[in-house]
Amino acid sequence: MLVILTDEQIISTQQVCSGCLLANSHGLPRWHHGKLGCGHSLAKADRHSSELYECQMGFVLANIDGN
């Protein structure tokens, strides 16, 4: 599951991405076969941390279930 990280909270992608022109037809990030289509991967801190991404709008997303 993808979530958006801010300095103070974790936000559902549905709250932010539903208004984004780059979102899919369901208002969610363009996620295809483990890759974010509307952003790019950021370096992982270690093998136990969640995969992090940055969307084209500048938000940081985390894949919290690892799929």
Q: What are phi and psi of 19, to 5 degrees?
A: -100, 5
Question: Please, which residues have CB within 8 angstroms of residue 62's CB and are 6 or more apart in sequence?
Answer: 2, 3, 5, 10, 50, 51, 52, 53
The conformational region for residue 48 under phi > 0 = left, psi -120 to 50 = alpha, else beta, is: alpha
Neighbours of 26 (CB within 10 A): 9
Structure confidence at residue 45 as a pLDDT band (50, 70, 90): low
pLDDT at 23: 94
pTM of this structure? 0.81
C-alpha distance across the termini of the chain, in Å = 7
